[in-house]
């Protein structure tokens, strides 16, 4: 038995207010690629006049809307993806009354699909899409089935994903909710994130609790401050630890 996973299980057992802060590594076991690894989204060659990173910017969306949607539908929406053992383990912690909130950088909606209720989506969700003129709501199926640029059936306006693109600001209410949850937690678990993307990564500095846990395949800038550091797959680690409680 891995001693670090046993130590994590002990922390989970004694904790009463856990908050989980997660990134792209949480969803890789569901078949959704991350962004910055060697085989991640940003390493892809588009063969066009733009890089993958440029394609998810606000200015690109405005200037090349048709190409934005071609890239978006091919690379950012995964309708067949299902929650993995990380998502289900977090839901189990919530059912135990221990996990109070999830703060995620992911846009796939898989935490809610697993059953989690209090989820702060820092970068929005592909499941929500709104007309830029009349604000009518459309689901991800409408976007995926649209040919070219998706337009509103009511007013003809462009339908935009409720996803925070580069050059766009985070939602103030989501940030305040995340900060409140993190600052009141007794245990903060950071998982599946390189802690490179700001301002999202800066939210962990609001933690004032007892146990800081870091679970990621590679080292991060927060490793030296954590009480428990596990360099392994988040789905494997959390699943094992929760089953030990």
Summarize pLDDT for 111-132 with one digit per residue, the tens.
999 999 999 999 999 999 999 9
Per-residue pLDDT of the chain (245 residues; tens, 9 = 90+): 489 999 999 999 999 999 999 999 999 999 998 765 545 454 455 556 788 889 999 999 999 999 999 999 999 999 999 999 999 999 999 999 999 999 999 999 999 999 999 999 999 999 999 999 999 999 999 999 999 999 999 999 999 999 999 999 999 999 999 999 999 999 999 999 988 878 888 999 999 999 999 999 999 989 999 999 999 999 999 999 999 99
What CATH superfamily classification does 3-32+83-123+164-244 receive?
Answer: TPP-binding domain (3.40.50.1220)
> Of 123, 205, 231, 243, which residue is the catalytic one?
123
Q: Where are the domains of the chain?
A: 3-32+83-123+164-244, 41-75
Q: Check if 87 is active-site.
A: no
SS (H, E, C) the chain: CCHHHHHHHHHHHHCCCEEEEECHHHCHHHCCCCCCCCCCHHHCCCCCCCCHHHHCEHHHHHHCHHHHHHHHHHHCCCCCCCCCHHHHHHHHHHHCCCEEEEEECCCCCHHHHHCCCCEEECCEEEEEEEECCCCCEECHHHHHHCCCCCECCCCCCEEEEEECCECCCCCHHHHHHHHHHHHHCCEEEEECCCCCCCCHHHHHHHCCCCEEEEECCCCCCCHHHCCEEECCCHHHHHHHHHHHC
């Amino acid at each position: 038995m891995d001693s670090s996973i046993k130590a994590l299980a002990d922390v989970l057992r004694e904790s009463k207010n856990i908050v989980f802060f997660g990134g792209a590594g949480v969803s890789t076991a569901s078949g959704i690629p991350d962004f910055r690894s060697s085989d991640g989204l940003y390493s892809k060659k588009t063969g066009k006049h733009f890089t993958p990173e440029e394609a998810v910017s606000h200015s690109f969306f405005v200037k090349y809307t048709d190409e934005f949607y071609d890239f978006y539908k091919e690379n950012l929406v995964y309708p067949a993806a299902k929650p993995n053992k990380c998502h289900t383990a977090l839901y189990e912690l919530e059912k135990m009354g221990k996990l109070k909130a999830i703060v995620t950088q992911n846009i796939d909606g898989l935490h809610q699909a697993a059953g989690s209720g209090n989820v702060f989506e820092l970068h929005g969700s592909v499941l929500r899409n709104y007309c830029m003129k009349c604000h009518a709501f459309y689901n991800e199926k409408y976007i995926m089935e649209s040919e070219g640029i998706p337009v509103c059936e009511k007013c003809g306006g462009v339908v935009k994903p409720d996803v925070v693109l580069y050059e766009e600001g985070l939602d103030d209410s989501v940030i305040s909710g995340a900060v409140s949850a993190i600052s009141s937690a007794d245990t903060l678990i950071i998982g599946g994130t390189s802690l490179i993307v700001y301002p999202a990564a800066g939210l962990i500095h609001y933690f004032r609790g007892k146990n800081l846990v870091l679970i990621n395949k590679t080292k991060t800038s927060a490793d030296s401050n954590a009480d428990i550091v596990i360099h392994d797959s988040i789905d494997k680690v959390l699943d094992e630890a929760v089953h030990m409680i």
